[in-house]
Amino acid sequence: MRASRLARTLQYGALAVYMVFLGFPLVWMLSTSFKPPREMVEIHPTLIPHNPTLDNYVAAFTEQELGRAALNSLQVSLSSAVLTVLVALPAAYALARFKTKLGTAALGWVLLSQLFPFVLLVIPLFLILRQVDLVNTHAGLILVYVVWALPFALWMLQGFVRNIPRELEEAAAVDGATRLQVLRRVVAPLLAPGVVATSLFAFISAWNEFFFALVLLKSPDLATLPVTLARFVGVEGIARLGPLAAGSLLATIPSLIFFAFLQRRLTSGSLAGAVKG
């Protein structure tokens, strides 16, 4: 009993250290965003600014259209996440449940597709999108993001499907449920954590993506957040740290909200004891 309490303490200690490790850059960014330029080059920098200022936030917002960029990003990322899941879900179910020779080959192909570096793809992709008039549109960018996130999303989701015991579906069928009812009443609720995890993955990869957004979107009105924030970085690694920190901090807020919104669904373990060993 005492040993386990000690182990527990150590576990939480390690967790706390890890949290500090993860959180520190964010805290430093928060601190930098309130510092006037002079305090950024102090030889002994402090975590709490001596003369906190909102100038960096004002600069970030007046010089770049961060609000519009955030809306653009939100639109693109949410749409990509939803579309990715909508396409991946049926495919993942089919791959996991129906045994065909194609299944293994398909999964292999999915993994293989992850090996291509995207710099190889960007020019052909650009040319294709241009032919169908999707360059310089959010729709084109979303299409790229969905295609980009799909293989991994598929791989992830089919793992979740596989984890749902087939016996549950069979039991429901024995009780007279139709195929659709089985899917809706049994599979869907159990798959929710998987769907949440997958959409988070798709959302974050679209939210952070820089290069495709830079190349595909030409009009300043359409630019996403990463592209807009990059404008605070200058030559030879010198950046306008204050506005950059302020902008980046604000840029994390929507994704934090999205996470908070979805993470409650991210609980698994509802399957424990579903099937008797």
In the complex, the residues that contact another protein under the rule CB under 8 A are 37-38, 40-43, 59, 63, 74-75, 78-79, 81-83, 119, 122-123, 126-127, 130, 133, 135-139, 142, 192, 195-196, 210-211, 214-215, 217-222, 230-238, 240, 261-262, 265
Cβ distance 80 to 152 under 8 Å? no
Decide whether 176 or 237 has the Cβ nearer to another protein. 237
Give the alpha-carbon dihedral of 71, 73, 78, 81, to 10 degrees.
Answer: 180
Residue in this structure with the two tokens 């010089």, named with its chain if needed: 63
Decide whether 77 or 158 has the Cβ nearer to another protein. 77
Decide whether 110 or 129 has the Cβ nearer to another protein. 129
For residue 139, the minimal CB distance to another protein (Å) is 5
For residue 265, the minimal CB distance to another protein (Å) is 7
Decide whether 39 or 169 has the Cβ nearer to another protein. 39
Q: What's the token pair of residue 93?
A: 């179910």
For residue 233, the minimal CB distance to another protein (Å) is 6
Torsions phi, psi of 45, nearest 5? -65, 145
Decide whether 4 or 131 has the Cβ nearer to another protein. 131
Which helix (DSSP H) or strand (DSSP E) does residue 81 occupy?
helix 66-97
- Nearest CA-CA partner of 223 in 243, 235, 237, 209: 209
Cα distance between residue 101 and residue 9, in whole Å: 50
For residue 99, the minimal CB distance to another protein (Å) is 30
Which helix (DSSP H) or strand (DSSP E) does residue 158 occupy?
helix 138-163
